[in-house]
Structure 1
């Protein structure tokens, strides 16, 4: 038995009597540790009962957890606190997770474990049951959020939103209706926030960046409208996509309108350098989308090519949005490049997590249909990992599904199972953490302060988010 600080003497004595081994996972574990644990349980590795608890208060509480089960954490648990996972029944595994929001952790587990899909207290095969028991709350470090970034840019975003509202207007009523359907439909507005945050970071005192941030959002919105037509998407930000409501022709044309508005704002700014950066990014985005189209259903797509694609279609605008803040502030090349590197690495991390979430969440959280990438035959990193690590038989499945246009619900479930089997989602998030760390490192040349801290936390949020 391996003792630890979380279990008092009486509880340890009970463990000895039961002949139970206790193993401690790393401190500060992410929700991914829960997923890894659930996978081991699914494979029947010495565990016949799974209990989630928020702390072990004493031996009696431990006995109740193991012997009686409890209530659903989704209904009973509050925000904050550490989630501790205990498996009883011969082998006990203990996980301390500083995850901040326990409901999301259980939701993530439930969507990635066939054991947990059956719900708390239900038989799940191999005589296993899943019980969820919230107990004593204990302090924990919260997961990264966008709150510091939102607070930093709140006043500036009011000005940006005013520009957006003004410039999306037209004498043709359909244009503001369709554009407003997407623009007012939620979204993080992260790209224009990067322009505002970068301006704060370099100490810019003017107002030029408000219009340029609006231009960035128009470019982004235009690409989303075009993407939904190309992909045949039905959901965007949790509601029907514009192409479903207004049709493909109108959606494409309004996307073109927003591109033109973006270029109006750029030319009004008067900086050829800014124009070159944003127009160049727009061209690279289009190239990235075409490259992704040519890679569609190409089962042998490499990780290198995949990273090139997302570097173009997603990261290019993140980089440009960040860089122009240094340009309007008339900073030097070193500062420009640092902000460019920050945005580019953040954009790659952001897209990696988007692609992981497609196999790791549900439509309610994502705001789009789960498995969209699979149905469209997109070779994203979770699939690339699962295909590379799979057996010959499993590779045949991927070839039939991706290259052979097989995308039934049963095929999607098998794809998710294989991605789960090879921890491809976690491997993708690990890649994202690497790029997020590079983003944070890029802005280390600037003085420490609220802006830098907010931008660093935004990078960590991009990886930790579940939507």
Structure 2
């Protein structure tokens, strides 16, 4: 990770536009869990890789992730990221969007240096899928008529696709057997699904420090996340018109939210068991991620990757 951080610091520099390293450093230096680059490093070493290209790929993955965060904060009009004011708040939306574009370009420069067309294909596909997931979320926002399958497609795009790619390219760069490469992809995908569902649950019952953004942001923005989807389905099944009216006002017209609505939403989510049901779904994905590692012999890195999966759901404790 020291080598990855060195790559990030070196590659985010720009002699022609000092605003680029200023904005990038603000977000990168805030820390974060660095899960995605860690997955690339661990996957490559798990498959016996002894070279150095996995460091470039780990930096590539973090650049893609950072670019999406910069863009997300503009779209969501967020004020906090990783416990600090967002770049768009400190500078402006234009800077966030353009620096995000720069990081995407940098990521493609890095990945091509590894000389693998398959790696390029995997990460390029992931970048396109991320954009599709974000647009899907945008197009379904403000509606109670979102199906669970649509939600799962959305979080696969916006979150799980990059987890999957980060893990998969580690196996590819190590020239691992195809069964192991696909196992790493499945591990990353299911880990990413669990990660996003946990984030969605924490938005209603976590802390800003643990979540890395302001608690209740999804609710205030009218996002249909899994806990709300489950609560709305329960209300429809029970014919609870008062509950449906509450969710309709808060989700379809978030500007009509009133003081105390977040607390009321949390109460309804608890009473319907929606938070518990969403947590169970996250734990199921975690179990699937750990199961995918059965393709590998027992060794410390395998245990570490299983521990990462357990860490994701431990944030709910």
**RCO (CA 8 Å, sep 6+): is it higher in 1 or 2?**
2
How do 1:199-278 residues align onto structure 2 when only pairs under 5 Å count?
A: 199-278=44-123
Q: 1:364 to 1:337 in 2, by over 3 A?
A: closer
Distance (Å, rounded) in 2 between the aligned partners of 1:259 and 1:166: 15
2:8 counterpart residue number: 164
Query: Do the aligned partners of 2:210 and 2:315 also contact (CA within 8 Å) in 1?
Result: no
2:314 counterpart residue number: 464
Report deviation, 1:362.
2.7
1:424 matched to 2:251: no
Describe the superposition over 1:402-437 as per-residue Cα deviations: whole angstroms up to 9, x where unpaired: 112233332212111111211222211110000000
Report deviation, 1:197.
0.8
Distance (Å, rounded) in 2 between the aligned partners of 1:409 and 1:238: 24
How high is the TM-score relative to the length of structure 2? Answer: 0.96
SS at match of 2:133: helix
Query: Do the aligned partners of 1:341 and 1:439 also contact (CA within 8 Å) in 2?
Result: yes
1:116 counterpart residue number: none
1:180 counterpart residue number: 25
How do 1:120-135 residues align onto structure 2 when only pairs under 5 Å count?
A: none
Report deviation, 1:221.
0.2
Distance (Å, rounded) in 1 between the aligned partners of 2:210 and 2:7: 29
Describe the superposition over 1:39-89 as per-residue Cα deviations: whole angstroms up to 9, x where unpaired: xxxxxxxxxxxxxxxxxxxxxxxxxxxxxxxxxxxxxxxxxxxxxxxxxxx
Distance (Å, rounded) in 2 between the aligned partners of 1:300 and 1:216: 34
Distance (Å, rounded) in 1 between the aligned partners of 2:39 and 2:207: 28
**May I ask how many residue pairs the two structures share in their alignment?**
311
For the aligned residues, what is the CA RMSD? 1.1
Distance (Å, rounded) in 1 between the aligned partners of 2:263 and 2:169: 43
Describe the superposition over 1:308-358 as per-residue Cα deviations: whole angstroms up to 9, x where unpaired: 100111000000000001111111221110000000000000000000000
Distance (Å, rounded) in 2 between the aligned partners of 1:403 and 1:350: 26
Stretch moving more, 298-307 or 185-194: 298-307
1:402 counterpart residue number: 251
> 5+ residue gaps in structure 1?
1-156
SS at match of 1:377: coil
SS at match of 1:358: helix
Distance (Å, rounded) in 1 between the aligned partners of 2:308 and 2:208: 23
Query: Do the aligned partners of 2:130 and 2:162 also contact (CA within 8 Å) in 1?
Result: yes
1:283 to 128, 137, 148: 128
2:156 to 303, 307, 311: 311
SS at match of 1:269: coil
SS at match of 2:36: helix
How high is the TM-score relative to the length of structure 1? Answer: 0.66
Report deviation, 1:366.
2.2
2:286 to 427, 431, 436: 436
> 5+ residue gaps in structure 2?
none
Distance (Å, rounded) in 2 between the aligned partners of 1:441 and 1:169: 40
Distance (Å, rounded) in 2 between the aligned partners of 1:173 and 1:425: 45
Distance (Å, rounded) in 2 between the aligned partners of 1:241 and 1:250: 12
1:195 matched to 2:40: yes
Distance (Å, rounded) in 1 between the aligned partners of 2:312 and 2:67: 22
Query: Do the aligned partners of 1:178 and 1:254 also contact (CA within 8 Å) in 2?
Result: yes
2:174 counterpart residue number: 329
Q: 1:259 to 1:422 in 2, by over 3 A?
A: same
